[in-house]
Structure 1
Amino acid sequence: MSSTRTTGTTDAAENGVGWWVKNSRALLSLAFPLILTNFAYVALTTVDIVMLGRLGAVEIAAAGLAIALFNQLRTTGTGLVTGVSNLVAEARVREDRERIGALLFAGFFWATVCGVVFCAVLLLIGPLLILLGQDPKVVDKAGDFLTVLAPGMLPCLWFQNLRHFTTGLKRPGPLLAITLASVGVTIGLNYVLIYGKFGLPEFGFVGVAIATVTVFLLSFLAFVAVILRDRVLRPYLVAPDARRWNGDAVRSVWRLGLPISGTYASEAGFFSVLTLIIGSLGVNALAAQTVLNQIVYIVFMISAGLSHAASIHISEADGVNDYAAARRTGLLGTAWGVIATLVIAVLYLAIPNPIVSLFISAEHADNADIVALTVTGLLIAALMQVFDATQNIGNGILRGIGDTAGPFRISLVGYWLIGLPAGYLLGVSADFGVEGVWIGQTIGLAATATILLVAFLRRVDRLHRAASGAPVTEPESP
């Protein structure tokens, strides 16, 4: 029997319902703990936004601006160390323990470099925000917030490096427990520091920043402690290679992480610039954007988990040149992302006011306009988040087949050449206000998602054709 006929019969069977059910289970079993961890992590900023929503429009607008800028740089730094998980996974398969320790050190090196540089940027960005048309009163309060928050960039990125290190070793378990504990600590610290309980002074607005930095540091230290107690992970952390400079490992993390970081920065920058445009439309518009961003960000964590899980499965298929399976996995991950966001879209359309009231108090008369704007934004987000999930998963599945530069180039087109002009033209030039900016944002995400999916299908089909012509990929049957 020829190998071609055997492969064809196998492919025909695997293309059936059985394949989709089996691989949906495998995909979701990996994605689910990642999604839960993402939910727990985003709960940290959600708690901040909810508690700030009780303080007033200026406070939530200023904190929203500060958090948006912090997250822009945090996301960029996280992208640079994201490749650690892929590199560690490769070294694990080869049983190269020294390489794993060297990659851990390299990740800490780049996390520290990014942390120091980004901290300085956040502390010095105030005058630029004034030039960009932000309300001086909002910028002044945002500056107070960032003065406290900026140093938290270091433990935050150190934590992210450990996260990708443990994920690469397929032992992400401690992440969920630590992040869930962090949520409880954040709630307690926010309450104590904002309102001055247990004999502490009443820090008010800045108390949220103090609590956030404290939680970043405690989370990192707790992660280190858990790793030191784990019999599998501990040897890597205490190994000499984890404390020794290795130029090849440092360069490897840089080469793989730079385009990922560029893609993350492009996406986060797109949202940050739109936030600045919205900030020029008034305090209420910026406050509404802060609340809407947080709601959408929570849902985004579902696609982030699916994206990472699909990327890992596709990388495994890529490693054995099974590009038919890689193609199906990419479509499977995308389908689950669309299904999940459509289910949540029903909630947005059915109960928008109760959802918004969870984040900002409707009892204050000053908040009425903010609530109304956010409810309108939530209706737009019902469609926007479907495209947001699709483009996020598109990034992951392309990364799974080894393409990290493509998503960066595509992001420049979709976000900056389509989405940003559309948002500005509709929101400012056409005077549709914040709703116009949100519609333009949706257009940019839809364009990016479409281009990413087309790029994935073309690349995986090209790789499949190339692999089919290589004898080593389909050896003759005995």
Structure 2
Amino acid sequence: MPTPLTTLLRDSRALATLAVPLALTQLAQVALTTTDTVMMGLMGAEALAGGGLAMVVFNQLRTMGVGLVTAVGNQVSAASARDDDEEELTEAAAEEVRDLVRAALALATLAGVAGALVILLIGRALAYLGQDPEVVDTAWPLLLALAPGLVPCLWFQAIRQFTVGMRRPQALLQITIASVAVNAALNWVFIHGTWGLPKLGLPGIGLATSLVYALTCVALYASARRDPRLAPLLDVRFWKARPATLRRLTGLGVPIAATYGSEAGFFSVVALLIGTFGSAALAAHTAVNQLIYIVFQVAVGLSHAASLNVSRELALDRIAAARRIKNTALACAAAVMAVVGVVYLTVPGLVLRPFIDPSAAEGHTATDIATGLLLVAAVLQFFDCAQNIGVGLLRGLDDTKSGFRITLVGYWLIGLPAAWLLGHLAGLETLGVWLGLLTGLAATALLLLRRYGRALSLRAADRPAAVA
């Protein structure tokens, strides 16, 4: 009989097979957006301000659109569970997967078109939301170039979820890494007008990003077409999607999109709270928050992998295995976060140096504040990772509504009041806001994991009755 340690190591290897490519893909996507930001910065402060504003608007809609199609991977994983021993899918299962792909692309198309229109509407409304008119004028041409890219971006995400659900994520990493280099090259070409092309300046970054989204979508589609197991299932005729399947995916996706939007909004409000303490505090927060965001991509990979594995195990009626997935994912996350936490605590100056120049104006003050925040971050990232895994586990149960409700409680009813009380009333300022942030994430993680445990217990209790 295998020991608990042997079982944990075996389950960790199985989880890592799916989680590592996904986490690396997420990190590559962070590099993509970072490249755009660096290019904007090279064009000057005005371009960075306008470009940053445009990217905030675009990324908010893009993130919510991605949430709409995220559940597709779970549905594909469950539908293909009969393929557990590398055998061919039955025709009924294959047709179910094909219909899921069609519905996913239909949902991505609808969300992409609607999202592009909303992006442009928000772009026109920015001047009425207290933003600097010159910054708005700078952002508008970039938004015009970015908006059309939302459709191929979400097509890519729909096909991505299909490939991941079929446990074929390997091509994602190569395509995403290649897109970083292509994006940087296209940025340079369109900004400066090389090779006889017109000099577009800042809007060139938007055009490059939209083209990269289209190219990566085509590349992933072509890769899937070359895979003998994926090709027969990749039906892109989205206009033939069954309305019932489209409604089911929408019902699962809307709470996920709302959860992503709520989380983004929560962190935006936290940034506004910290901004009241001065520019040095906001710079420190921005630096440490970016570090957390980079490490968070590991949690995203673990969350998606755990979510897909839960869908698969439950489709095969293996509840004990689904319960172990939670423990395995949390153990893997804890190991990674412990290593990162040690780095934060031992060499804080080294990790902060790429973001804050101590010799610049208020740089020394910002570094001191950020060093204190790293102490909180070393603990906070455990709960941040755990709550993301918890959302993924519930998604594996097709329970996206509970995840949304719990995050609303944790972020807005616990985290935000705690941040305000500790930051303002307790006089701890930026450190207090981060302690409140930690409190909200910890509460969210505990509630999500408890909900998952109870849901599995209910399934186990109902199973004999279902069999009878």
Q: Normalization by structure 1: what TM-score?
A: 0.83
How far did 1:123 drift?
2.2
- Name the amino acid aligned to 1:110: L
Q: How many residues were matched structurally? A: 459
Residue aligning to 2:305: 309
Give distance in 1, aligned partners of 2:132 and 2:102: 42
Residue aligning to 1:453: 449
Q: Do the aligned residues in 1 keep the contact of 2:326 with 2:393 (CA within 8 Å)?
A: yes
- Name the amino acid aligned to 2:146: L
Residues 356 and 34 of structure 1: CA distance in aligned 2, closer, same or farther (over 3 Å): same
Residue aligning to 1:180: 177
1:26 aligns with 2:14: yes
How far did 1:164 drift?
0.4
Q: What do residues 323-363 of structure 1 show as CA deviations (whole Å, max 9, x unaligned)? A: 33322221221121122122112222333333334356778
SS in 2 for 1:358: coil
Residue aligning to 2:85: none
How far did 1:417 drift?
1.1
How far did 1:302 drift?
0.6
Residue aligning to 1:5: none
How far did 1:182 drift?
0.4
Residue aligning to 1:440: 436
- Name the amino acid aligned to 1:182: S
1:157 aligns with 2:145: no
Q: Do the aligned residues in 2 keep the contact of 1:57 with 1:367 (CA within 8 Å)?
A: no
1:384 aligns with 2:384: no
Give distance in 1, aligned partners of 2:119 and 2:419: 25
Q: Do the aligned residues in 2 keep the contact of 1:69 with 1:272 (CA within 8 Å)?
A: no
- Name the amino acid aligned to 1:80: L
Residues 371 and 126 of structure 1: CA distance in aligned 2, closer, same or farther (over 3 Å): farther
Structure 2 portions without partners, runs of 5+: 83-88
Q: What do residues 383-420 of structure 1 show as CA deviations (whole Å, max 9, x unaligned)? A: 32221101001111222234222111101100111222
Q: Do the aligned residues in 2 keep the contact of 1:135 with 1:283 (CA within 8 Å)?
A: no
SS in 1 for 2:234: helix
Residues 56 and 345 of structure 1: CA distance in aligned 2, closer, same or farther (over 3 Å): farther
Identity %: 46
Residues 275 and 190 of structure 1: CA distance in aligned 2, closer, same or farther (over 3 Å): farther
Residues 235 and 370 of structure 1: CA distance in aligned 2, closer, same or farther (over 3 Å): farther
1:45 aligns with 2:50: no
How far did 1:179 drift?
0.4
Residue aligning to 1:420: 416
Q: Cα RMSD (Å) of the superposition?
A: 3.3
- Name the amino acid aligned to 2:112: G
Give distance in 1, aligned partners of 2:455 and 2:328: 17
Give distance in 2, aligned partners of 1:15 and 1:292: 40
Matches within 5 A, 1:17-166: 17-54=5-42, 59-60=47-48, 62-92=50-80, 93=82, 95=90, 96-126=93-123, 138-166=135-163
Give distance in 1, aligned partners of 2:200 and 2:372: 33
Structure 1 portions without partners, runs of 5+: 1-12, 474-478
How far did 1:159 drift?
0.8
Give distance in 2, aligned partners of 1:292 and 1:201: 39
Residues 289 and 15 of structure 1: CA distance in aligned 2, closer, same or farther (over 3 Å): same
Q: What do residues 406-463 of structure 1 show as CA deviations (whole Å, max 9, x unaligned)? A: 1111011001112223334455676765554444322221211121122222222333
- Name the amino acid aligned to 1:90: A
Residue aligning to 1:298: 294
- Name the amino acid aligned to 2:342: V
Give distance in 2, aligned partners of 1:47 and 1:373: 27
How far did 1:285 drift?
6.0
SS in 2 for 1:231: coil
